[in-house]
Amino acid sequence: MTATPSPLVLMLRKLETHAVLDAADRVAMLALPYTLRTYEPSSYLVREGDAPEQCAVLLSGFAYRQKLTGAGMRQIVSLHIPGEPLDFQHLFLDVADHNVQTLTRAEVATIPRTALRELARTRASIGNAIFINTLVEASIFREWILNIGRRDARSRLAHFLCEFAIRLDMQGLTGGEGYELPMSQEQLGDALGLTAVHVNRTIKSLEIDGLITRNRRRISFPQWDALRELADFSSRYLHLAQQRL
């Protein structure tokens, strides 16, 4: 009956968490040309300075955006989970201003930028959906700034963990309680503006207080509400259609 489902349905689902699309929109979007590719951990999908011609969508695995200072310090500026488009940020810009890298092994669908732009132009609702997606991303950037600028290490880490939990949940990627954190403490530090050593101590401190439990990189949340309060976390900035928290 049905053909094998296009891997782009993942992106579709993501876009539909913030925008309304009709059947024709869905068909048009799933008709986009794409190529599949698998990347090893730490592969570059976009390099600062590149002229982006493709638009990558993450199908499985995790990725992040990253910038480097002249002195070589790394700052991760966002984290991406399966289903999220990675290159809308460059859809209309000629030169990439940051790097995009895989965190884990990842499957990616690559769509020609021109096809996507054409689709956005001809179907206004899809154009809107793409726009909304980048607006929500911008909102997450703002909260990230607040988190790094004004919260201490414990709250900062807690906030990060909360955001990741909610976003995984939104995409239906949580298997019951907790999740596997797909990054090293070094990378966690780069995301939070801390050192790996201090991340380690901060995680342990949360663990000792019973706010999280850990097994390798698997984290769960026996006291979600307490963690959320410490994190000063409100999901408003994620612009969930239905505010679940």
Partner DNA sequence: CGATCCATTGAGGGCGATCAAAAACCGTGG
Partner DNA sequence: CCACGGTTTTTGATCGCCCTCAATGGATCG
Distant-in-sequence, close-in-space partners of 204: CB < 8 Å, separation ≥ 6: none
User: Which stretch, 49-57, 159-167, 190-198, 222-230, contacts DNA (CB under 7 A)?
Assistant: 190-198
143 binds, among DNA, its own copies, none (CB under 5 to 8 A by kind): its own copies
204 binds, among DNA, its own copies, none (CB under 5 to 8 A by kind): DNA
What count of residues does the chain have? Answer: 245
Counting contacts by CB under 7 A, is residue 94 touching DNA? no
Counting contacts by CB under 7 A, is residue 153 touching DNA? yes
Counting contacts by CB under 7 A, is residue 223 touching DNA? no
196 binds, among its own copies, DNA, none (CB under 5 to 8 A by kind): DNA
Closest approach, Cβ 66 to DNA, in A, equals 15
Q: Which of residues 200-219 bind DNA (CB under 7 A)?
A: 200-204, 214, 216-217
- The tokens of 102 are what? 């895989």
For residues 127 and 86, is the Cβ–Cβ distance under 8 A? no
d(C-alpha 127, C-alpha 149), whole Å: 33
Counting contacts by CB under 7 A, is residue 198 touching DNA? yes
For residues 125 and 22, is the Cβ–Cβ distance under 8 A? yes
- The tokens of 88 are what? 């809308």
> Which residue in the set 7, 112, 127, 193 belongs to the binding site for DNA (CB under 7 A)?
193
Question: Which phi-psi region, left, alpha or beta, contains residue 93 (left: φ > 0; alpha: ψ -120 to 50)?
Answer: beta
Sheet order of strands, 54-60 included:
35-39, 106-112, 54-60
Footprint of DNA (CB under 7 A) = 152-154, 184-186, 189, 193-198, 200-204, 214, 216-217
